Structure 1
Amino acid sequence: MVTAALALLPVAYLGVRVLESGGGAVADVLGRPRTAELVARSLTLAAVVTAGCVAVGVSLAWLVVRTDLPGRRLVGVMAALPLAVPSYVAAYTWIAAVPRVNGFTGSALVLVLVSYPYVYLPAVAVLSRLDPAMEEVARSLGHGRARTFLTLVVPQLRPAVAAGGLLVALYVLGEFGAVSIMRYQVFTTAIYTSYRAAFDRTPAAVLGMVLVAIAFVIVWAEARSRGRAAYALGGGAPRTRTPDRLGGWRWPALGWCAVVLGLAAGFPVAGIGYWLVRGSSASLDLAALGSAGWTTLYVSAGGAALATVLAIPVGILVARRRSRPVRMLEQATYVGHALPGIVIALAFVFFAVRFAYPLYQRTPLLLLAYAVLFLPAVVGAVRASVLQSPPILEDVARSLGRRPLGVLREVTLPLAVPGIGAGAALVFLTCMKELPATLLLRPTGTETLATQLWTETGSGAYAAAAPYAALLMLLAALPGYLLAQRLGKNGVTL
């Protein structure tokens, strides 16, 4: 119940603020031409980025899994690394190197480059598990390669691609750092500006409610389009597939992979390196850098630990009991994932000021926001691990006299440890990259690598921002690499 209450707090906050403001104030905000313009801007950016991520992610997945692409194993590992590149770091490197690449074009480019792994990883998982016998039968019946792919592979790939595309669309709707650096006004930047610039928080709350409504419409539309689609991956023992030969297209395909990987991972690293070596405005403050790095690790670890503690009972209940109340509890935990970080932050500011003022601008409030934002990552990982362990093991333990807590401690949790660890690591990585909630909720005088980077780039001090960007990417690289390996191998959707 505590987990569900925390997860639903942001929606309750928005409802209270909108009701308190009255119908006239709400109608005034909704009737502004600026609101309609923000809707169009946000939806257009989300649509373009989602389409771009589907095109890039599916093409890379097919080349890595299904063809004789030269060096495809290395390409397969490298293609997932942009998962560890924060969007605002990528935006910083692009705007510093090519100032004209800003606005809508720059935002779309950066977000496609950092978001396509959300489509790539599940697509790789599905393509790797498809039984080649199904396609061989289709080919033996006279279907060509293209027709077989379109009629047999694409329908089985569609649920994974749709799920990845949904995550990309929700991520773009809640994006703040990259669009701010690229100077492109969308809902999140308007909400942040309204919150900071005015004493009346009603416009920010109304805009937040509109953004939440858009997010839920997108989730509903994705579920409707997916319908009853499911994977038909085949059964029996897996066997080696003969890669499709690219022939004369091998080197152009490798060139395409090199371009994507170079822009998504190589360019940010090169840009940061340039400003570290050549920047003239940098005055490296090792004490500030070390303090920001330590704070980033501290709050990220705290957020991951709190999210894990809240998620473990939910994940176990969802895996073992599929009653209606349990399903509702699971759905409640996913509410925070559909909301932008800035809306979550506003909700916790409201909660602290009204009901828990000692927590206002204190670390525990920031950790609670992290837990609500990224709770589904641990819930899903725990649920998957528990489902993989046979329930009969728990039945045997109970038959031997173990009480429920003993069964949980001695059987269920040890078997779920790999999933719990993967979920906690994913939350740790995501907390390090989170920006809007950190900006609004961090204690006064406390800076993380993300907030320091945002501050320096906001004033155009790109060389001064480079050490913070470099350390942030360095800290995120190892967990990002390990998670990409695990998630891509096991087919876990982020």
Structure 2
Amino acid sequence: MAGSDVRRVGPRQFATLWRSQAVGLQPAIAAGTALIILLTASPLVSLLTSAFTGGPKAFSILMNSSVLSLIARTVLLATLATLWAIILGLPPAWILTRTDIPGRRFLRIVGVLPLAIPPYIGAFTYITLLGPVGWVNKIFQAMGTSGPIVNIYGLWGGVLVLGLFTYPYILLIVGSALKGSDPALEEAARAAGLGPFGIFLRVTFPLLRPSLLAGALLVFLYALSDFGAVSLLRVDTFTTEIFHQLNTRFDQRNAAALSIILVILTAVVLMAQRKSLGRRGFVQRRSGVRPPTIYPLGRWKVPVLCCTYLIIAGSVFLPVALLLYQTGSPMSFLRTLIAGHRYLWNSLWTATVAATAASGLGLFVAYLTQRRKGLAPLILTSATQLGYAIPGTVLGLSLILLYNAYLPWIYGTAAMVIIGYLLRFLPQAVQGSTAAMIQVNRNLEEAARSLGRSTWQALREVTIPLIRPGIAAGWMLVFISSMKELAATLLLRPAGFDTLSVRIWIASIEVDYAGAAATSLILIAITALPLFLISRLDATVSQLD
């Protein structure tokens, strides 16, 4: 019966059937596109409107000389943190994919765990270690020194913490590129007489430039938009000043003007990265599937292993050990869990709803960009990337201005928090679905439609089951990011609606180190589980490849 259906539908009839189904889907596509554009672009439009409403006086704060130093300090912090993350992430990426280092599988999984530890928790732990009254200074003072030897507060403390807890972006993206590169190029270089170091510099590194730039871009944008870590470490940046203008001076107009400058900085970085990659071609043609070349470390095995474990210790083992020590007894942890169960519930259900909504919208955007042509996919791609371009403080402010003026029945509810998460992390869901859909041949959908299935049925019965791992990975990434988000949550939460991230920040400000440590451990445990599942999924796919 199926065979007769295929024979009965010829090329001309199939084209007619496809056009009729595409025309029938146009209203739904148009409605979905309009919804996403309205959802993503309206906060930025509201921010611009608020800033320009007051005319030239609205930008009087920008005439202040301190704004230039604020720009310089913010850009310097993001640049140095990115360089530090590259130093920490690039060598392990090559070591864990191209050498015979012992325990590679374990190190790959543990190496990405810093993503489960928000930088503001990292800042909190390192303050107790390297602060003016931290353990290190107490030890030196006991030995007879006067005054603190080290002080983590300030720019260099921000660079240290942000790099330590964002380097897995470099590790993951560069490591994935290394696993998928063509070993024939390195073999040709080896035959020409180059050693491992020369091969890396002249062959491997140029091919890694796109993935390295992509990872560096994520780190730079994160450092540019971070609020929690820099506020605890007392580094004055755009995000802290915006929060100060909004929550201390209650000046929304000045906060909006500063936010526009931060958005412009982010947009300039994105355009520079796109222009840098657009001038070059990075194509590898592979005639067969072969594993990458594994280099023996020989006498370098022990030093390389020690350096790798030192990086992981500074970003995972040491912070967790400090949190466990500060929490005290298991009963103290249990009391914190019982007393703060409502904060845990608030975090879980808002992150779950945001991740589910983002996965649905991400699937819609991925399908249009990969299966449709025209203006709508291009507009959607740009619109969904606004989440990367708008930091949490700016997004929170723009949503406050928008919903307070036009949708007051939503303002002051938990829905504001969910909308903030959705807009902030929608790009992660889009990328997860897009990466999976690229690998699905559209001929499978065409075959299903030739058997009488509609476009929606072909998507539901053929495409979605095949891209389910990508959708799940995107869902988990949005969930993790939503659980950790601090800046947007602080601004958008209704009165009395605290999450785990908010309680950690409040406890740190109030010097309640035991409560902050116990709450941090709860948050890390929850976010580490989906991150571990993503790592296992990636390892399984790598083994199948």
Q: TM-score category by the smaller chain?
A: over 0.9
Find out whether 1:175 has 2:208 as its counterpart.
no
TM superposition shift of 1:10:
2.6
**Which residue number corresponds to residue 295 of structure 2?**
244
Which residue, out of 105, 109, 113, partners 1:73? Answer: 105
Pairing 1:61–2:97 present: no
For residue 13 of structure 1, what is the aligned residue in structure 2?
A: 46
SS in 2 for 1:359: coil
Q: Does 1:130 align with 2:181?
A: yes
Superposition map of 1:63-102 within 5 A: 63-99=95-131, 100-102=151-153
Instruction: State the shift of 1:56 in Å.
Output: 1.4
Change in CA separation of 1:386 and 1:242 when aligned onto 2, cut-off 3 Å: closer
Question: Which stretch of structure 1 is more off in the superposition, 183-192 or 5-14?
Answer: 5-14
CA distance in 1, matches of 2:292, 2:442: 34
Contact 1:130 1:234 in 2 (8 A): no
Deviates more, 1:312-321 or 1:430-439: 312-321
Q: 2:509 is matched with which residue?
A: 458
Unmatched 5+ residue regions in structure 2? 1-33, 132-150
Query: Matches of 2:292 and 2:436 in 1, distance apart?
Result: 28
Q: CA deviation at 1:384?
A: 1.9
1:422 to 463, 473, 478: 473
Give how far 1:233 is off.
Answer: 3.9
2:109 maps to a residue whose letter is V
- Contact preservation (8 Å) 2:43, 2:402: no
Q: Is 1:204 matched with 2:255?
A: yes
| Matched AA of 2:406 | F
1:432-443 equivalences under 5 Å are: 432-443=483-494
Q: 454-463 or 272-281: which moved more?
A: 272-281
Aligned equivalents of 2:393, 2:538: Cα separation in 1: 27
Gaps of 5+ in 1: none
Which letter does structure 1 place at the counterpart of 2:256?
Answer: A
Deviation per CA, 1:74-106: give whole Å up to 9, x if none: 222211111111111111111122212221121
What is residue 408 of structure 1 aligned with on the other side?
459
Shift of 1:466: 1.5
For the 8 Å contact 1:283–1:464, the answer to whether it is kept is no
Q: Which whole-Å CA distance do the structure 1 matches of 2:471 and 2:77 have between them?
A: 34
TM-score, normalised to structure 1, is: 0.95
Q: Do the aligned residues in 2 keep the contact of 1:284 with 1:467 (CA within 8 Å)?
A: no
Query: Against the structure 1 CA distance between its residues 488 and 355, is the aligned structure 2 distance closer, same or farther, given a 3 Å change threshold?
Result: farther
Residue aligned with 1:357, SS: coil
Give, in whole Å, the separation in 1 of the partners of 2:194 and 2:128.
51
Measured against aligned partners, the alpha-carbon deviations of 1:447-470 in whole angstroms (never above 9, x if no partner) come to: 111000000101111112121111
1:29 aligns with 2:31: no
Matched residue SS, 2:340? helix
The one-letter code matched in structure 1 to 2:188 is: V
User: Is the aligned partner of 1:325 residue 2:358?
Assistant: no
TM-fit CA distance, 1:195? 0.4
Assess, with a 3 A threshold, how the Cα gap between structure 1 residues 111 and 183 changes in structure 2: closer, same or farther.
same
Q: Distance in 2 between matches of 1:228 and 1:483?
A: 33
Aligned residue type for 1:350: L
Q: What are the Cα deviations for residues 396-420 of structure 1, in whole angstroms up to 9, with x where unaligned?
A: 2222222223223222323222211
Cα distance in structure 1, aligned partners of 2:459 and 2:438: 14
- Identify the residue that residue 296 of structure 1 maps to in structure 2: 347
Larger relative contact order, structure 1 or 2 (CA cutoff 8 Å, min sep 6): 1
CA 1:285/1:125 → structure 2, altered by over 3 Å: closer, same or farther? closer
* Superposition map of 1:136-147 within 5 A: 136-147=187-198
Residue identity opposite 1:13 in structure 2 = S
Taking structure 2 as the reference length, the TM-score comes to 0.86
Contact kept, 8 Å, 1:300 with 1:428, in 2: the verdict is yes
Other-structure match for 2:385: 334
With over 3 angstroms needed to count, the CA separation of the structure-2 counterparts of 1:251 and 1:322, relative to structure 1, is farther
**More moved, 189-198 vs 249-258:** 249-258
Bigger shift: residues 112-121 or 233-242: 233-242
- Residue 269 of structure 2: which of 214, 218, 232 is its match? 218
Which of 77, 87, 102 aligns to 1:45? It is: 77
- Across the two proteins, how many residue pairs are aligned to each other? 490
Question: Taking every aligned residue pair, what percent have the same amino acid on both sides?
Answer: 36
Give, in whole Å, the separation in 2 of the partners of 1:218 and 1:278. Answer: 47
Q: Provide the rounded CA distance (Å) in 1 between the counterparts of 2:460 and 2:108.
A: 38
Q: How far 1:194 moved relative to its partner?
A: 0.4
- The AA in structure 1 aligned to 2:315 is A
Please say which structure displays the higher CA radius of gyration: 2
- Counterpart check, 1:349 vs 2:400: yes
Does the CA contact (< 8 Å) of 1:121 and 1:488 recur in 2?
Answer: no
Change (3 A) 1:413 1:243: closer
Q: In the superposition, relative to structure 1, how do residues 169 and 66 fare at CA in structure 2: closer, same or farther (>3 Å)?
A: same
Q: CA contact under 8 A between 2:355 and 2:475: conserved in structure 1?
A: yes
Q: Which moved more, 1:146-155 or 1:160-169?
A: 146-155
Greater mean alpha carbon deviation, residues 166-175 or residues 2-11 = 2-11
- 1:485, CA displacement in angstroms? 3.8
Cα deviations across residues 111-149 of structure 1 (Å, max 9, x unaligned)?
A: 111100111111111111222221111221233433322
1:273 matched to which residue of 2?
324
- Aligned-pair distance for 1:279? 12
1:341-399 superposed Cα distances (whole Å, 9 cap, x missing partner):
11111111111110111111211121111110011111111122222221112112222
Match of 2:439 in 1: 388
What CA distance in whole angstroms lies between the structure 2 residues aligned with 1:373 and 1:10?
11
- For the Cα contact (< 8 Å) 1:125–1:490, is it kept in 2? no
Match of 2:29 in 1: none
